[in-house]
Amino acid sequence: MRTRWINLALAALAGWWVCGAMAQKTDPAEKYPVRPIRLICPYVPGGGADIFARTVAQKLTEALGQTVVVDNRAGANGGIGTELVAKAAPDGYTLLLANSGPMTVNPVLYKKVAYNPVKDFAPISLGAIYFYVLVVQPSFPAANLNDFIAQLKAKPGQMTYGSTGIGGGNHLSGELFNLMTGTQSIHVPYTGSAAALAALLGGQLNYMFDTVITAVPLIRAGRLRAFGVTASKRAISLPDVPTLDALGLKGFELTQWQAIAAPAGTPKVIVDFLHREIVEALKKPDVMERLATQGGSELVGNTPEEFAQVIKNDLAKYSKLVKAAGLQPQ
């Protein structure tokens, strides 16, 4: 009898040891990460999204002791790289540089998008917000925003604004401006910011909503004049330029953001761990300086739950804007 109890006790102890060892072995947070992490950037190298991705990747590499490699997978307005992460293994080793374009504009502007921005991703943290600024040539005969709007209304269908392409932030800013002011300016898409700015400076366009980072040097050089920014607060790099909301267009707000997300199903312990590390990275002075000067952004670290709500809110906002502007899904 005694021998039987001893055997049972040993068996129970062995079972406990095996279960404990297996639990340790399969715990997703145990020693994470144990190999390099791939951060997919759905845009070409050199732009604001790429700068943000590489800055965060460098800081995560330093903090985690594992290399975080930026992998640029551009195409389809950011859709190719975004889809790749949506279909990746949810193990914390493939992350997404999530951009508001493919996450909240593409799904309402295109008929076929191969991912669901709400269901296919685990939000980690919002990272940076980008402002736009309404600019004209210095010679444009309008002393202020009200004069500018009056001139646009006096020439319906004759005034033009440029953008970097259909569905971009500067295009949607222009559509929102038309709706809120009752103007009827014509959208002229270009292949990029440089081409659109060249057309504006050359007089082929009447105005443009440009990103703050590219507009600031031209504004300071006196080659462009700014009326207002599209955010709810003034841009740090343009402290003398008011918001359009403050100038009378109440509720006018259109910004873009960069963030970090993972495939849906990524263990919460890994999401929370990465969230803490990313928020800490965004607080570092050298990160703030680099992203402000090179990326033209203002940093915002929030919780996964708050970021998830931003995605839902923006999807609703852009869906209403696209319908109100009469833009047909492509």
Task: Check residue 325 and give its pLDDT.
Answer: 84
pLDDT digits (tens, 9 = 90+) for 315-326: 999 999 999 888
pTM above 0.85, yes or no: no
pLDDT digits (tens, 9 = 90+) for 112-134: 899 999 999 999 999 988 889 99
pLDDT digits (tens, 9 = 90+) for 203-253: 999 999 998 888 989 999 999 999 999 998 888 888 999 999 999 999 999
Model confidence band, residue 73 (pLDDT cutoffs 50, 70, 90): very high
Residues in contact with 319: Cβ distance below 8 Å, sequence separation at least 6, in sequence order: 108
**308 pLDDT above the threshold of 70:** yes
- The residue type found at 154 is A
Residues in contact with 204: Cβ distance below 8 Å, sequence separation at least 6, in sequence order: 160
3-state DSSP call for residue 165?
A: coil
Mean pLDDT value of segment 48-57: 89
Report H helices in the chain: 2-26, 48-64, 79-86, 100, 106-109, 145-154, 169-181, 193-201, 212-220, 268-282, 285-293, 304-324
∠ CA 299-171-140, rounded to 5°: 100
Range of weakest confidence among 16-30, 66-80, 107-121, 173-187: 16-30
- Half-sphere exposure at residue 248, Cβ-oriented, CA atoms within 13 angstroms: 8
Domains detected in the chain:
37-130+255-324 (3.40.190.150), 132-229 (3.40.190.10)
**176 pLDDT above the threshold of 50:** yes
Q: What are the distances in angstroms from CA 110 to CA 37, 79, 118, 206, 323? A: 31, 10, 16, 28, 13
Residues in contact with 72: Cβ distance below 8 Å, sequence separation at least 6, in sequence order: 41, 42, 43, 44, 45, 50, 81
pLDDT digits (tens, 9 = 90+) for 77-116: 889 999 999 999 999 999 999 999 999 999 999 888 999 9
- Half-sphere exposure at residue 265, Cβ-oriented, CA atoms within 13 angstroms: 11
Model confidence band, residue 296 (pLDDT cutoffs 50, 70, 90): low
Supply the DSSP symbol for 104.
I
Tell me the three-class secondary structure of 171-210, residue by residue: HHHHHHHHHHHCCCCEEEECCCHHHHHHHHHCCCCCEEEE
pLDDT digits (tens, 9 = 90+) for 24-52: 444 555 689 999 999 999 988 877 788 88
